[in-house]
Amino acid sequence: MLSQKVEPHDTILFKGYHPNGIEIIADKVFGLNLYSSVRGKNQKDDIIVDDYEAAIYFDAKYAKIQRYLGQKEDVQLPSTIKDFTVDSIGKMAFAENEQIKRIVCPFTIIRIDRRAFYKCINLEQIELPIDLRIVGKAAFRGCIQLRKVMIPNCVIEIGSKAFAGCVKLEEIWISSATLSIANDAFEGCNELKIICDRNSYAQKYAQTNEVNFITNNYEE
C-alpha cells in the first residue's frame, strides 16, 4: 500500500527495530535490496568466474562482485554471473588495484559498498550505472587520478569520505534526487566544483561545506 502512495522526492521516515524487520519493509517500498540483510541469511556460494570472485545468493537471485582478480587497464563489469544478476560491488572489491584506469559498470548495479575502489591510484574514469542508489563509505577514497564523476539521478546516498583524497577531482555532477551527502564525502578535494540542479540538496551541501558549485546550465 505504501509503495503505491509514494511519489518521487517524498521523504519517508521508517521507525522501528531491526529485529522486527524494519529494513525489509524499506527494501520492499523501494523494490530493491539496499538495506536488509535477508540475503546474508540465505544460501550463498562463493565462486570464481573469469576475472571475478563473486558471491551468489540463490534465494534472492542476485550476485555480488567480491574481488577483481584481473590485470586489465580497461574493465567492463559483467551484468550477470552464472545467470544471476550482478547488483552490487562488494567492500574492497577493487581496493589498491594499481592497473585499472577505466571502469564501466552495468545498469544492474544499485550499490557500491565501502572502500570498493579504495586507493585505485591510476583510476582516471568510471562510468556509474544509471540505476545506482548508494555510494558507500570511502568507496573512491584515494583515487588520486580521478578528475570527473557523473552521479546518476537515482543515487540517494553518498557515504562518509566517499571521494576523500581524490586530489585531482575537478567536477562532480549531482542531480536533485540525491538526498544524503556525508559532510566529509569530498574531504581534501580542493579543486572540486559541484555541478547540480537549482535548489538541490547538493547545492546546499556545497554552500555549507564551502565547496564551489555551479548550477546546471540545462536547468537554467
Say which CATH number the domain at 99 has: 3.80.10.10
- Do residues 74 and 97 touch, judged by C-beta distance below 8 A? no
Is residue 176 a part of any domain in this protein? yes
Same domain, 21 and 121: no
pLDDT of 198 reads 62
Is residue 81 a part of any domain in this protein? no
Is residue 98 a part of any domain in this protein? yes
Same domain, 102 and 208: yes
pLDDT tens digits for range 147-197: 999 998 888 889 999 999 999 999 998 876 677 888 899 999 988 888 876
Is residue 189 a part of any domain in this protein? yes
Same domain, 122 and 207: yes
Same domain, 110 and 199: yes
**Residue entry with cell 559498498:** 113
Model confidence at 145, pLDDT cuts 50, 70, 90, reads very high
Higher pLDDT, 136 or 23: 136
What distance in Å separates the CA atoms of residue 165 and residue 183, rounded to the nearest whole number?
A: 14
Same domain, 95 and 179: yes
* Mean pLDDT of the chain, nearest integer: 85
Is residue 69 a part of any domain in this protein? no
What distance in Å separates the CA atoms of residue 70 and residue 114, rounded to the nearest whole number?
A: 20
Same domain, 13 and 103: no
| Full domain range(s) for residue 9 | 1-31
pLDDT tens digits for range 83-123: 999 999 999 999 999 999 999 999 999 999 999 999 999 99
Is residue 97 a part of any domain in this protein? yes
pLDDT of 220 reads 36
Is residue 65 a part of any domain in this protein? no
Is residue 137 a part of any domain in this protein? yes
Work out the burial of residue 25: count CB atoms within 10 Å of its CB; fewer than 13 is exposed, 13-18 middle, 19 or more buried.
middle
Helix (H) or strand (E) holding 22: helix 22-30
Same domain, 11 and 94: no
pLDDT of 28 reads 74
pTM listed for this prediction: 0.80
What distance in Å separates the CA atoms of residue 119 and residue 90, rounded to the nearest whole number?
A: 15
Task: Look at phi and psi of residue 121 and say left if phi exceeds 0, alpha if psi is from -120 to 50, else beta.
Answer: alpha
Same domain, 27 and 92: no
Please provide the DSSP assignment of 151-201 as one string. Answer: --TT--EE-TTTTTT-TT--EEEE-TT--EE-TTTTTT-TT-EEEE-TT-H
What distance in Å separates the CA atoms of residue 80 and residue 201, rounded to the nearest whole number?
A: 34
Higher pLDDT, 102 or 58: 102
The count of structural domains within the chain is 2
Assigned C-alpha cell, 104: 564501466
